[in-house]
Chains A and B, each alone.
Chain A
Amino acid sequence: MDEREIGRLLRLLPAAPAEWTLTAQELPFLSAELADILERARGDGGFRDGLRADPDTTLRDHGYDLSPSVMAHLMKLLPEDEPDQS
């Protein structure tokens, strides 16, 4: 394989965004924690509003310690219009 072909192939695989990779590395070990947070968000309007307004502080206040990338992923999973069941 000549130099040009090696260079071409190396350029075909750019690094994935670092945040994506970090999240993928952490998520499988946080599934129970995330399910717990989402369950809580569905049933507790105050918690849900707090998450939307200031996820970092809200999660920390409730004893969760998530990395920024996982937190960003969590926010995407947050229910939009779940009724408050509390």
Chain B
Amino acid sequence: MRRAVDTEAGEAVISTSLVDRCRRGDRDAWRDLVAEYSRYVYAIIMRGYRLPESDAEDVFQDVFARVFERLETLRDDDALRGWIAQVTRNLCSDHLRRAHPHEELTEATVTDVDDRLADLDDALAVRQALTRLPQGCAEILDRFFCRDESYRTIGGALGIPAGTIASRISRCLDRLRREMAGRDPAAGASGGE
């Protein structure tokens, strides 16, 4: 969340973080935060706890309302992801207890949820790295992996020869891996695929 920037004097200072801007009531920052974590929260609710869609939206809205209300209590901005996950888990559990008051959340259930959530944490890291790629790269990977589009469809939509899609995907995957490893000197320099 925080980004170190160099001043002329060579000192590293922490730029205003997204969380700080949200705390100050910055609407654009809040929009960005929700956009960044909406997939994650949605996945915890739907895949982690498997709530029915009819209940899921209420929990989804409650999660973000609570996050907004309690951002002041978050001591370490870098803990945002874990905190949002915990808020979501608590509200999902509360919901299940209300919906099924006579059923205990068993240890096995909790372990299942833990296993599924560990996967989602990895998934979020990949997704966040994807959003830091140049737009063209992010789009081509999203279309191929998430939307299961064919080379022909992707080529048609992006105005790129279908025969070059495979090599572009390969290059973009390399960039994504570098981004995940936290070292992508090319990212941002060329403006993307």
Cβ A20 vs Cβ B60 within 8 A: yes
Question: Given A24-B60, A73-B61 in contact, is the A12-B68 Cβ separation under 8 Å?
Answer: no
Cβ A13 vs Cβ B40 within 8 A: yes
Number of contacts between A and B (CB, 8 Å)?
Answer: 85
Interface residues on A, range: 20 to 34
In the complex, how many residues of chain B place their beta carbon closer than 8 angstroms to a beta carbon of chain A? 38
Residues from 10 to 67 in B contacting A, C-beta threshold 8 Å: 25, 27, 30-31, 34-35, 38-43, 47, 57-58, 60-61, 64-65
A6, A14, A21, A28: the one contacting B65 at CB < 8 Å is: A28
CB-CB contacts of B144-160 with A at 8 A, as 1s and 0s? 11100000000000000
Is A58 interfacial (CB 8 A cutoff)?
A: no
Report the nearest B residue to A10, measured CB to CB: B145
Residues from 1 to 49 in A contacting B, C-beta threshold 8 Å: 1, 3, 6-7, 9-17, 20-21, 23-25, 27-29
